[in-house]
Structure 1
Amino acid sequence: MSVSPDTAAPVAADQRARFFTLLDECLAQNALVKLVLARHVGVEPDLQRILITPVTLKGQPCLSFVYRYKTRDITKNHPLAESVALIGQLLPSAFRNAHLLSLSDEVQLEFSKKGKASLSSSAPQQAREARPAGHDREKKRYLDLSRPFLVDLGVTNRQHELIPAMSRKWKQINKFIEVFSHALASSPISLDKPVRVADFGSGKGYLTFAIHDYLRNTLQAQGEVTGVELREDMVSLCNAAAARLEHPGLVFRCGDVRSVAPSELEVMIALHACDTATDYAIHTGIRSGAQIIMCSPCCHKQIRQQIQSPVLLQPMLQYGLHLGQQAEMVTDSLRALLLEACGYETKVFEFISLEHTNKNKMILAVKRAGAFDPAPLLARIEELKRFYAIREQCLESLLRADGLLS
């Protein structure tokens, strides 16, 4: 896509028509990165600009319009044809500047006070740096730096630029939403009904806000998200932010996985829950019928205190580091097998690379459809426990006490 300024000064209608031709080509080629409408001259008070980005809703390509006001943002999603018609209505009656950024070019349409239009083009920074286009589009699909909650939580500044010290947290947030998106697509969860989510150990609420924003604004689903946190100051901080940023359906409660026990859930999240807190969280997810369970375990004291190393392995496990790694592997393997036995398709993988955080393992479980025989899995669990002389595993005990294991 390229444009050369016409020195013959064509009429505004020609320049405007050329811009919309370029926009149509950009959408047809799936090459749009973003379109910004600026220099607001419309009647709506406090409206500053509109940020337009591509999204996919229920398998259909759409455009997401983020209306940026002085104190709030409002998001509306429209099909492509409807979006182009709406942009046509806004230029130049409500906005005098349109900045179109594609994977290969950068175009600006500007209107003077007298209505004269000018069209200019230059290669964008992304193209000059030869960044992989597919990778960029995929990253932008999950979460955008323009989201208001990122400013409030200190991830971006007021110009929606990433604060360098928060780059690791930003990568973690993006990876989390990516993992959740894939799990949601493979789960039986219907977006036509409220999606109830509990995030245990929500802390400052980075991931809690992110998943609520993704459900509500990107997927246009009715997300009912609860963050659970022991620290009262964090709960107050997050509830105030949720009210201030107009996040309906997002609430934070003071407590932990034992004191806050939802009866029904679609999604259960517990990241970096220490030792048996992860077991209690998984148990809560299974008991409440969660279709997706996402855990990032931390500490593995219960199993480490019980393990008796087999004779063959004792020379290797005489070193404390190796003993700890073994306890972690055995603990999380038992958790994954127990989830499988309860009817979940389970994966254990690296959540995000070690250069970003040292707590990098995730257990992801998505509910299977249909019945199956758990007996072979339960037999493997017993064999593993016998091999390491493990007397008790917390999650197994909780499940058996509730009759959730046959």
Structure 2
Amino acid sequence: MAAEPLLRALTRMRSFVLDPDVLVRAVASGRQKGAQPRWKRVELRYVDLKAGRHLQVTAYDETQAHTTNHAVGEPGQPSPARDAVDDLMDEPFGNWHVETTTQQHQVRVTKKLEALVHTTERAEAVEVDREHDRDKGRLFPEDDPVLVALGISTAEGRIKPSRQAKYRQVEEFLRLLDASLGEALQKGHLRRPTAEDPLRVVDLGCGNAYLTFAAQRFLTHVRGLPVRVTGVDVKQQSADHSSGVAERLGVEADFVVGSIAAAELPQPPDVVLALHACDTATDEALARAVGWEAALVLAAPCCHHDVAAQLRRTPTPAPYALLTRHGILRERFADTLTDALRASILRLQGYRVDVVEFVESEHTPRNALLRAVRTGGPVKGGGVRKEYDELVATWGIRPRLAELLDL
């Protein structure tokens, strides 16, 4: 695949995006070297409204989606849709994925700001879906076989009312996974997988494997990446059930029985996922990721009992007594302190870390996510270590993750 001038590649993609009869969907994500677009990710598709055909743009920041509709306009007349596309093409996105009725185009911007374009032909042409009332920004249609097999959707292909929150959590988790993978691949922090050596993804504490199967489906079928996923859970029943689901779906996935702390994998994973591992199980997941030197880690913690219990036993340092005097405030402060210390410890282990909201609080109160990308080796000293040491000394606590890593 030879590089070509970026402007030429984007001009070609622009022609597809501006054709309502051809475009199925376009997605922009990642960022170019030395630049930062306004949005983490943008999705474009055409919808038919009462006022006529419009280009629907769904732009994602760190916490939520913003949807706008732009009129296509008559030929030769001003076109808000064309203006919106031109504005987005000017943003320094690192990747464009453009799906048409007959082809799929993947554009990746190199460090030299050139374009690598990979085009595949569809086995058969697809129709453009312009229904405005379809669920916005969903990664999977409701009747996707994976959702039906997992019991999230009914046999008729509709999301079950009792599974709406779970579906929302998995969707938002995958959005962050998609954006994080794209950036890590672009910057070279994550190796580029091949069919012979696929990307190894492990879901620690997978339970019923909602995230395991959703990640496999999304990364292989939507992003076209060669991937091998493994779910780890302590229950044999969970592994047997998930293996049966994988067999019925014809999905290549492995399920290992064991605790997060002790489970053995044939090869170290590239990506570690942990969704709502309870209390110190999140610390065990992070410790395993560090031990494996995983390139990317996404962990959404659940309850935070360990540090909260330590705060109850330890005198509160002045002048912070008001933070721990009332039980509900002490618990909330313990949540924040726990995740702040986890982020600091991961930085000491050579990871770039940020903490984001991955789903709105109305869906779940446990909506923080630690996203870590390995960028170097452990940090032995300096400001990061001093900041961490002062914080734990002030509060007189010992984080479980620090014990697991012998920090």
Q: Do the structures match in fold with TM over 0.5?
A: yes
Greater Cα offset, 229-238 or 174-183: 229-238
2:82 maps to none
> What's the secondary structure of 2:319's corresponding residue?
helix
Residue 277 of structure 2 is aligned to residue 273 of structure 1: yes
2:181 alignment counterpart: 184
The structure with the larger Rg is: 1
Residue number in structure 2 paired with 1:101: 129
Identical residues among aligned pairs (%):
27
- List per-residue Cα deviations over 1:142-174 (Å, max 9, x = no partner): 333232111111111233222222211111111
1:326 aligned partner, one-letter code:
F
Give the whole-Å Cα distance in 2 for the aligned partners of 1:166 and 1:324.
28
**Structure 1 unaligned regions, length at least 5:** 1-20, 35-56, 66-76, 88-97, 103-123
User: 2:336: which partner in 1?
Assistant: 329
Instruction: Return the alpha-carbon distance in structure 2 between the equivalents of residues 27 and 175 of structure 1.
Output: 19
Alignment partner of 1:61 is 2:98 = yes
1:349 shift after superposition: 2.1
Change (3 A) 1:327 1:393: same
- 1:395 maps to 401
Match of 1:167 in 2: 164
- Which residue of the partner structure matches residue 350 of structure 1? 357
- 1:370 and 1:186 map into 2 onto residues whose CA distance is 19
Gaps of 5+ in 2: 1-18, 27-42, 49-93, 107-118
Which residue among 17, 21, 26 is the counterpart of 1:23? Answer: 21
Give the root-mean-square deviation of aligned CA atoms. 3.3
Call closer, same or farther: CA 1:196–1:27 in 2, change over 3 Å. closer
Q: How many positions carry a matched residue from both structures?
A: 306
- Which residue in 2 is equivalent to 1:368? 375
Any conservation in 1 of the 2:347–2:379 contact (CA below 8 Å)? no
Q: Any idea what SS the aligned residue of 2:301 has? A: strand
Distance verdict in 2 for CA 1:313–1:151, change over 3 Å: same
SS in 2 for 1:275: coil
Call closer, same or farther: CA 1:320–1:253 in 2, change over 3 Å.
same
- Taking structure 1 as the reference length, what is the TM-score of the superposition? 0.67
Q: Quick one: structure 1 residues 27 and 350, their matched pair in 2 at CA, closer, same or farther if it must change by over 3 Å?
A: closer
Distance in 2 of aligned mates of 1:213 and 1:295 = 20
Which deviations, in whole Å up to 9, do the C-alpha atoms of 1:339-387 show, x marking residues without a partner? 1111211111222112111221211111226897752111111100111
* 2-structure distance, mates of 1:84, 1:242: 25
CA shift at 1:27, angstroms? 7.7
Q: SS of 2:151's equivalent?
A: coil
1:359 and 1:27 map into 2 onto residues whose CA distance is: 32
CA distance in 2, matches of 1:365, 1:27: 29
Amino acid at match of 1:23: D
- What amino acid is aligned across from residue 386 of structure 2 in structure 1? A
Alpha-carbon distance in structure 2 between the residues aligned to 1:315 and 1:370: 39
